Structure 1
Amino acid sequence: MPTRKTASADIRRYLWVPLLLALTTSGCSTYYGQLAAGHLRLLTAREPVAEIIADPARDPRLRARLATALDARRFASARLGLPDNDSYRLYADLNRPYVVWNLFATPAFSVEPIEHCFPVAGCVAYRGYFDQGRARAQAARLALRGLDTDVAGVEAYSTLGWFDDPLLSSMLRRDDQALAALIFHELAHQRVYVEGDTAFNESYASFVAREGLGQWRVARGLPAPDPAVETRRRQWVALMLATRERLRALYAQAIPDAVKRARKEAEFLRLRSDYAALRDGPWQGDRRFDGWFEQPLNNAVLVPFGLYDQWVDAFAALFAEVDGDWHRFHRRVADLAALPADERTARLRALDIR
């Protein structure tokens, strides 16, 4: 869905209030009820960032982090062509490590996620919960039905401009540069969003975050990052994608389920082994991804991989075509967003091979 410049921010916000109230009064026991109640709690916790920074009684470390974040926020609108509103000019302390927990699920012998469809956002490969316990309880119920599940904490989410999204205490777990990139990423979702096309949306936002962070570093006189870090991240993602494709081929075979299950387990053992070989070999002991491998591995943990960077190179090619002009770039992206899905994908493929 292209940007919604035809409606003011206030109109967009108040159109959602009756829906949220209706969902809340339906009871927090419902899935939509817990979403509405959780989001309303978040909205009521917001404080203006500028007021916190100006208050000497507040934690000086918090004030310093928020000052840097506000600098990145101003840069996003002034230099990157991203929306100029009150999103990320407010702050909310969550008193917990994540704002929501996403639940991913797949059949036991499929790498395709079970999708869920929502108003505005369209169909996505997860369900979000404001309470970790609710997410894990639902995961347990799905596991009893034979599904693979994964519950993953999320530091931030976007309401696509319907509300003024705040900076969250969970976002401050990142360092300054990663926080700036996250702000750019989330604001990009407000600029252009296609209902139901997760790969397009996340790849576009990821490119904006990557390129925007590079420009923000230059503007602040910060050194370029170690290229080895990005190389290792790409190699890690490549391991996941290769494993997923081998599993996809396995599940398509006409063989007994018991054989599939044994070979599935072997594939995840291979993934662990391949990672250890990279870590202890070319990566020279870099253990940054060890924590991810501490969890049980199944189809569901592989779902997010590839979605965030599938079309990043295509968007980079598009950015080069407009000579790095952010406003022209966003307009071209909005044009792509307006195309039918098949045509949009074909255009992205054509850009990706340039």
Structure 2
Amino acid sequence: MSYPGRRLPQRLNRLIALAAVGLLLSACGGLGYYAHVAHGQGELLFNQRAVERVIADPATKPALAGRLELAQQARRFASLRLGLPDNRSYTRYVALDRPYVVWNVFATPRYSVDAVRHCFPVAGCVAYRGYFDEARARGEAARLKADGDDVYVGGVSAYSTLGWFADPILSSMLRWDDDELAGTIFHELAHQLVYVRDDSAFNESFASFVQEQGLKEWRASRKLPPLLGHEQAEEDGFTQLVLELRDRLRQAYAKGGDEATLEAAKQAEIAAFRERYRQWRDTNWPDHHRYDAWVAAPINNARLLPFGLYDQWKPAFAALFRQAEGQWPLFYADVRRLAKLSKDERDRELRRLAAEVPAGPA
């Protein structure tokens, strides 16, 4: 999900597609969908090549060889320094014939900000449905729209099978800069380490914290300067604006009314959001137009769904990391303890952690 020149929030380009094993074990979406997903995952497995062989191949362009070598360095760092799984994931490469590996279809009722959810045996329930073919994704989106839902289709450059398969490096991942490539490997391996069914906020916040803290340590190990914080601050500010819009829409829909009343309230809130965005940008980032295209494009409920998924509990995980004195094994033990709690107990503990220790650099 991008536009020329700059990416939208990096987290939105890396939405975890439905874990492939869950899809392969579930025909709940119909035989055609089952066959499509089985074929798509099978193609990735069939077309993988060992990274070292790709690098050594005389036909491989130096630029590709260099990116793959960097990815292998990050892969080794992930296991040796961050304590992430040491397996065959990200040691093989797949050259795709398309810009994304998967397209996710998000849907909500026309006057609701709650997702139409899809449930699978291993991955649990998630707010989207993944397709290896863009035309199929857009066909499903058209069907849902015809039924009256708000829909959004977003391209995905990488996804995790939660350790059931050896996830490869994909050519779609190599469009990113070095930090995002390394960070994505850390993020996806974190999903293999700890994953809780039906708790996307926990899973994504955990993996995002591992990605960001791991990237700090990765850059330090390479004697690179710390990342500047202004881009993250801008991204966080924009995300907060979108979450505020979602909350305002939820309140507007809760008031009820006929369709004309609800539609008028919906469009009024979207127009007000665009004005708030303009004021925020001009006050804080007058020379930046990173999100202008996103804001100018049509906005509906489904388009808001990805926002906030990766952030909710990051302060809590930062607090947990501090309590572990920066020791990854101790941190992971605490995360596993949280994962074993009920959803209500886990959320209470995460709220306590977030409140007791101020968010900030770990």
**Residue aligning to 1:140:** 142
**Residue aligning to 2:189:** 187
Identity of aligned residues (%): 54
**Residue aligning to 2:88:** 86
- What per-residue deviation string (whole Å, max 9, x for no partner) do you get for residues 186-244 of structure 1? 00000000011100000000000000001101111112222110110010000011000
- What per-residue deviation string (whole Å, max 9, x for no partner) do you get for residues 84-123 of structure 1? 0010111101121111000000011110101100120000
Q: Distance in 1 between matches of 2:291 and 2:93?
A: 30
**Residue aligning to 1:310:** 312
Matches within 5 A, 1:158-307: 158-307=160-309
Return the offset for 1:34: 0.8
Task: Check 1:235–1:312 CA distance in 2 against 1; reply closer, same or farther (3 A cut).
Answer: same
Q: Distance in 1 between matches of 2:332 and 2:221?
A: 21
Q: Distance in 2 between matches of 1:221 and 1:132?
A: 41
Q: Distance in 1 between matches of 2:254 and 2:37?
A: 37
Return the offset for 1:30: 1.1
**Residue aligning to 1:68:** 70
**Residue aligning to 2:57:** 55
What stretches of structure 1 of length at least 5 have no aligned partner?
A: 1-15
**Residue aligning to 1:149:** 151
Q: Distance in 1 between matches of 2:119 and 2:163?
A: 19
Q: Secondary structure at the match of 2:329?
A: helix
- What per-residue deviation string (whole Å, max 9, x for no partner) do you get for residues 265-298 of structure 1? 1111222222222333310221222342353200
CA contact (8 A) 2:186 2:211 kept: yes
**Residue aligning to 2:5:** none
Return the offset for 1:255: 2.5
- What per-residue deviation string (whole Å, max 9, x for no partner) do you get for residues 107-142 of structure 1? 111101011001200000000000111111111111
CA contact (8 A) 2:79 2:85 kept: yes
Q: Which amino acid aligns with 1:198?
A: S
Q: Which amino acid aligns with 1:167?
A: I
More off after superposition, 148-157 vs 282-291: 282-291
Q: Secondary structure at the match of 2:151?
A: strand
Return the offset for 1:22: 10
**Residue aligning to 1:324:** 326
Q: Distance in 2 between matches of 1:168 and 1:103?
A: 21
Q: Which amino acid aligns with 1:227?
A: G
More off after superposition, 76-85 vs 246-255: 246-255
CA contact (8 A) 2:184 2:211 kept: yes
Q: Secondary structure at the match of 1:108?
A: coil
**Residue aligning to 2:127:** 125
CA contact (8 A) 2:25 2:121 kept: no
Q: State the superposition RMSD in angstroms.
A: 2.0
Q: Secondary structure at the match of 1:72?
A: helix
**Residue aligning to 1:5:** none
**Residue aligning to 2:112:** 110
Q: Secondary structure at the match of 1:30?
A: helix
Give the TM-score normalised by the residue count of structure 1: 0.91
More off after superposition, 83-92 vs 217-226: 217-226
Q: Which amino acid aligns with 1:208?
A: V
Return the offset for 1:54: 2.3
Q: Distance in 1 between matches of 2:315 and 2:269?
A: 29
Q: Secondary structure at the match of 2:288?
A: coil
Return the offset for 1:305: 1.0
What stretches of structure 2 of length at least 5 have no aligned partner?
A: 1-20, 357-362
Q: Which amino acid aligns with 2:266?
A: K
Return the offset for 1:57: 2.7
Q: Distance in 1 between matches of 2:58 and 2:33?
A: 41
